[in-house]
Amino acid sequence: MKREVVVSGIGIHPFGKWPNKSTFDLTEVAITGAMRDANVQFSEVQAAYLGAEFAGFFDARMIIQRFGWTGIPVSQMQQACASGSAAFREAYQAIELGRYDTILVVGYEKMDSGGLIPGGNPALDHEYHLHHMGLAVTPARIAMSLQHRMQTYGETPEMLAVEAAQAYEYGWHNPNAQRRMQVTVEDVLSSPVICSPLTKLMCCPNSSGSAAVIITTREKAQSHGSAPRAITIAGHAAGTPDSTELMGGPGAHIGGDYRSGFLTKRVTAQAYEAAGIGPEDVDVVQCHAPFAGGGIVCAEALGFCAVGEGGRFFLEGHARLEGKTPFNTDGGLLSRGHPLGATGIAEIYELVRQLRGEAGVLQVPNQPKVALAHNTGLGSLNTHILKR
């Protein structure tokens, strides 16, 4: 019999450039915060799941054993931008099915310099459009997808800039964000062009940071005294592209599904079904948007507007705090930052705060009850539904 699984504790290390801090420094802050928030001692943790893309093969074990040599199993997920949410997914399923009662989940990454170019990876040599056509530079793939959307739906660079400026507006109020900048739509449009229509301020920065959560059963949360603030994991789904989705072209299945949203739509429909809800029930969203336009495509694929209307969804303010369905209330990847393995857990961190009513000036009004986390990468796409 499946059990009710909850997030009982959350912790985070601010995202940014931390050249003088080690991976252990970053994760220690997040893990300590999550255990304190859940009122859990490390001796009560029965397993640990960690997500990071650029980690050494025994980093996860060393991170956990700094808190105690208790002999628990430690698992490391490496699925690019989806590493953290993949770790969360596996931990959730392990508790739901009764294997454990209390699990620590950690997402982390140290990326103080360098670009995200998957070239040189033998596994990608067989991807013709990535390796042989020179599309291994992520902004180039995304820009081509956005150009296609602009030609198809009449979207404009201004719509992309509105999404980006909203992210910076909210990130300005987030003490854990990397880019705390006051940015206007005009600033976004006039920043240096990376690959048209993308400008520099439409692209996420390289980041270092960590986020952690404690997930447990509702019964255990009661025994820990954390049940009143615990948030239920109501449903989830995960997937990789099928043969029809691969036909979407460059960017359709990598880097956020920017052209079509096929994969996001399919996986999220399964998550809605598992949670027994529909898009009309969702009060707040964290979506994976490392480039402006990611939120636009997700607005359509998650079911909040019709196909081709995503740009207008942002332009007309529907994704704002006071709008119909608020998006990326902590600044998202553009402002909060994008340490690959930490991103999926940072989404959970923010949504738990929103559902608890603890988000301060960034709080979604009217006591949100249902939240959606969407995180994608080369390894998988994961959607989780949380309920208060």
Given this model, what pLDDT does residue 124 score? 43
Q: State yes or no: is 305 an active-site residue.
A: no
Q: What is the mean pLDDT of residues 99-103?
A: 97
Position 1 scores a pLDDT of 65
pLDDT at 175: 98
Distance CA 99, CA 64 (A): 19
12 vs 129: which has the higher pLDDT? 12
For residue 258, pLDDT over 70 is answered with: no
Mean pLDDT of the chain: 91
Best CATH choice for the domain 138-204+234-387 from the list 3.40.47.10, 3.30.1130.10, 3.50.50.60, 3.40.50.620: 3.40.47.10
Active-site option among 13, 236, 253, 338: 338
Parse the chain into domains and list their residue ranges. Answer: 5-114+207-232, 138-204+234-387
Q: Is the pLDDT of residue 120 over 60?
A: no
The residue from 13, 81, 148, 236 that is catalytic is 81
The percentage of the chain sitting over the pLDDT mark of 70, rounded to a whole number, equals 89
Convert the pLDDT of each residue in 175-223 to its tens digit.
Answer: 999 999 999 999 999 999 999 999 999 999 999 999 999 999 999 999 9
pLDDT higher at 148 or 251 = 148
- The pLDDT of residue 346 is above 50: yes
Quick one: pLDDT at residue 113? Answer: 66
Per-residue model confidence (pLDDT) at position 137: 74
Active site residue 298: no
Per the CB < 8 A criterion, the answer to whether 228 and 37 are in contact is no
CB 162 within 8 A of CB 202: no
CA 122 → CA 103, 110, 117, 255, 318, distances in Å? Answer: 34, 23, 13, 19, 43
Res. 85 pLDDT band, cuts 50 70 90 = very high
**Residue 245: per-residue pLDDT:** 62
Give residue 136's pLDDT: 57
Domain with residues 5-114+207-232, CATH architecture: 3-Layer(aba) Sandwich (3.40)
Tell me the H-state helices in the chain.
Answer: 23-38, 59-65, 83-96, 128-131, 138-153, 157-171, 185-190, 218-224, 262-275, 294-301, 310-315, 332-335, 340-356
In sign, the C-alpha dihedral spanning 99, 104, 107, 109 is negative
Longest dimension (CA), the chain: 58
SS3 at position 240:
coil
Closest to 326 (Cα-Cα) out of 166, 205, 158: 166
